Structure 1
Amino acid sequence: MTDHGARTGRGTARTGTPGSGTLAKERPLRAPEARRADALHPGAWWVWALGLGTAASRTSNPLLLALLIVVAGYVVAARRSDAPWARSYGAFFKLGLLVIAIRLGFTVFLGSAIPGTHTLFTLPEVPLPDWAKGVQIGGRVTAEGLTFAFYDGLRLATLLICVGAANALANPARLLKSLPGALYEAGVAVVVAMTFAPQLIADVQRLRAARRLRGRPDRGLHGLVQVGLPVLEGALERSVALAAAMDARGYGRTAAVPARVRRITAVLTLGGLLGVCAGSYGLLAAQGAGFGLPVLGAGLAAALAGLRLGGRRSVRTRYRPDRWGVRAWLVAGSGVAVAGLMIWAASADPAALAPGVVPLVAPELPLWPALAVLIGLLPAVVAPVPVRGGPAPGDPADRTAAPAAPAASKTKKTKELP
């Protein structure tokens, strides 16, 4: 028999159909395709995005904020799938632009508390009574006030864009599977709320494309009414189907646990969540970095203990749970590293991360914080590559094909005649 394959050295791979004997050229090691077996844990994407958001909350430097937006956008473009929920990043980006516009509009029409000497224009000022001192409608608009408003709006927009990156990269259905049993009911509500907006956007795009193909208007008030009614009807049908599916699967069924365990669980969970809130506020505040981390750690420990005890009430099981592998640690660690380095830079050199507007000076890009932000690009290299044009990993349509069996030999055996 002839050998239809050949062994390759390290760094080579076989391409083509099995048994073709075609060898690929040597190529460097790269991330695998995001199938069910090696798909990244959705919690890693959220840890990475929250790390970038924490870094954005520590600075008002527009150059660093723009770099964070570029990092998040590049990772989304490199590792986003074709699922409907993965198309929500553009909506969050537009929402960030709207936040900046609203923040600038408030400054123009309601004034700013930042004193300035560079007057751009003056609006008619509305006189207010004495009890409304400190409130201004119209008046002088300065470059310093607009600059401060732009910095503040850009920081909030960056936070929204980081959250949008997590929504576009993390599969909400697989994220629900990874939640502890005590948070299953609340997790279902959150996941349904998170998936409603992307599905709504996909329905609007589909209906507008269908109306354009039929030569009907899809813009203006008339087009909005004609598109809005089918979208709302489809959302209602999905809600009824989801309710029926949840009822058929016994949603809300719990097991009986002792009253003492329930009380201990409630105390640990509530106390832990309060500690997490206080620690998070300490990390985000400018003066609370000292007590924020210990309080956050103690709160997380208490909350995890409460959630573990509360999981006894859940009677559901997990089918093929997601694994937190090495790639998930690298993705989550890159976000944590960006957040930690930015917190350290904010305490070491606060002037570089918060450029002043009085007097009005051009912001400068600090070297070490910029290099720290670039660590957030690591998921674009180590995260599994999404399969374009196919189902997302974890979806019902995703079925990892088994390797094909080798073709049977068509040679016939002949009997020996006596």
Structure 2
Amino acid sequence: MFKNLIDVIIKMLYIENQDITILEKRVEVYMKEKRRGIGMRLCMIQILLSCTISGCNDTPPEEIQVDDLFIEVQEATENSQENAEEIIEICVDLYKEAAEQNKIADLETIRSIVNCLGENGYPAVDSRNQINMTKPEKVVEFCEKVDAQEEAEITILEISYLGGFVKYDLHTKDGNVDVVRSYYKYENGDMHREVTGSYQAEYWNYTEEGYLMFSGVWFSEELYVLTLSGAEEHTALRVQPLDETYRELSRKYLNPISFERNNMFIVDWSEEDFGDLNFYDMYDILYPKVNGQYVPYVADDNLSVSAVYQIPKEEFESVIMKYFNIDSETLQSKTVYDSVDSTYEYKPRGFEEVEYPEYPYSEVVGFTENSDGTITLTANVVFPYAGDSKVYAHEVVVRPLEDGGVQYVSNRIIPSEDNYRETWHTPRLTLEEWEELYGGE
């Protein structure tokens, strides 16, 4: 039962994964609860249900009208099929060709699919917002009708890098927006629908930055049978175009760092004063880029014990100094260094330092090439989970190197009354917190 539930959840939530799946990350979150006394069986139930009910309401399961819910989902499924065959016919050959060449996840493959759908009149965009939306004027017109409380409908296609697409059928009336969400997957030469769910958008906003952001709890018959609940969804689609140079700069300099388990783009720092930049987090992120494998210094299997490693000076510094212009003395002052053994003390993040696996991303919206060879990037922090297309803006200075590498020079948060707090980040334990928790073990 648990295995089937996991399979359904992974398929239905349609999550874009990078190095670690959201399910794995939530295992970490709930293992924190386990060490506080929650049993393993309950812990596992929480892990699975958290993937689907993280935003559910307080209505007890027995009060939900299951029959009515299934009827609504079935009607939504039937209605969503109206133009599905046409859409599949438009793009299936491109998927076949890409599959034969093993390029399903290639950016140019996704671009060709998006553009082909646009040529046939459909608003389409990729799931990572790396390609300009086709037919954006139709989406803008729909948003205007939502604001005017007029009746209208539209189909928007979100193309995945996993070999499929999400089809959003939106209908608005009296200012409310009903969403039918269908996921289509390419497999073995054919495109088929995997799941369809529906919901009324609880949050809807066409932002000043040109994003359409909406969210709600969607239901499908299969998911409800297993979980007695729906799946929370937060959608962010860039409607307005963005200069391709900006996108390339984001992919080259900002995306490789991102916001997961680090504060590089959260705090102010520079080569003159590295401030609160955490070099242990940077070591975790940069080690795979330098060495081609994950950091070998992992947390202890015993949850009541924190692993402590001594990393040789040359090994630690070779990772950090490849991306930062920093000398040994300064780096040692920002870490715990043993001058006798010439080693850096390293404690891997533990369960108390786990983050909720929803992160923003930085999107370059301007840049300046400086006389000293550095580049100043101006970027907005986009957080789909919060429905915010500009949590805050920041300036990142990078120094491109002749060998194609890069050094990060500084980060500065641009002050504004509208800046939003970085709720996604969990800092590493301080020395005092670590001593209190682990008792110096």
**Higher RCO (CA 8 Å, separation ≥ 6 residues):** 1
TM-score, scaled to structure 1 = 0.26
Which of the two has greater helix per residue?
1
Kindly name which structure, 1 or 2, has the bigger radius of gyration based on alpha carbons: 1
